[in-house]
Amino acid sequence: MTRTLTEAFAIAKSQDRAALIGYLPAGFPTAAESVALITAMVEAGVDIVEVGLPYSDPLMDGPAIQAAVDIALSAGTTTDVVLDVVRQVASTGSTTLVMSYWNPVERYGVERFAEQMALAGGGGVITPDLTPEEAGPWMDATNRHGLDRVFLVAPSSTDARIATVCAATSGFVYAASTMGVTGARSQVSSAAPLLVERTRRLTSLPIAVGLGVSTGEQAHDLAAYSDGVIVGSAFVKRILEAHDHAAAVAGVAALAAELAAGVRR
């Protein structure tokens, strides 16, 4: 039985720690390999999985994720393939989300995507470039099919904007710690603690921080003030640097274990 986001965060809270959230594009390097890699991440300590929906114009992503998305698209990854990856990952009991730019969801069909996502066992969708003001049909569809919808706040967000985003969000609020593109960094933005503090004043939802986390020490630091730590590019880099699939599996498992230890310290 797949855990909901509420259940996943509640379990982490009961253990006095932050949840570890790991991202990987579906179909990277192939559909079957992406399922094996995500499964290895979960077995090593990832609590919640973000399955990326590859898109041809990933403007918010850095070089590592752009490279991974290109590989996935070249391998023939479609939205239906992504949903099948969700089905396989969710069947393990993992809390499984999709992270997608809005265009692929809209082209697939808003109602159809929500319906198929729910049928696959997915728990929700993160839509980084969709604003609450333009999300009416999406909010209706997710309500009908019992999906959480996750919107983003950023350091530049005003308090009024954060309140608007939180009102439209369910599951958790995604706090983007930097204004730049995705990518592992040697130091997580100093703006993250203040952003979490400002957001926490306006919502009772869990708040997870993403963009830049690459080490167990960084995960530990973020876990001190957030409810969730999101890691994506660092996992992708391990796979890009691996010489074969076995090495990639070992690499993401080792990173997941390091990060899981970080949020649990």
Residue 182 near residue 61, CB atoms below 8 Å = yes
In angstroms, rounded to a whole number, what is the distance separating the alpha carbons of residues 72 and 240? 12
Nearest in space to 232 (alpha carbons), one of 18, 12, 3, 25: 25
The C-alpha atoms of residue 21 and residue 66 are separated, in whole angstroms, by 20
- Stretch (H or E) spanning 24: strand 19-25
Quick check: helix, strand or coil at residue 87? helix
- Closest Cα to residue 143, out of 169, 104, 163, 106? 169
* Residue whose C-alpha is closest to residue 41's, from 58, 26, 60, 21: 21
**Rounded Cα–Cα distance for residues 27 and 78 (Å):** 9
Extract the runs of DSSP E, i.e. beta strands, from 146-250: 148-150, 152-153, 173-176, 207-210, 228-231
Q: Give catalytic residue positions.
A: 50, 61
Q: How many CB atoms neighbour CB 262 within 10 A? A: 24
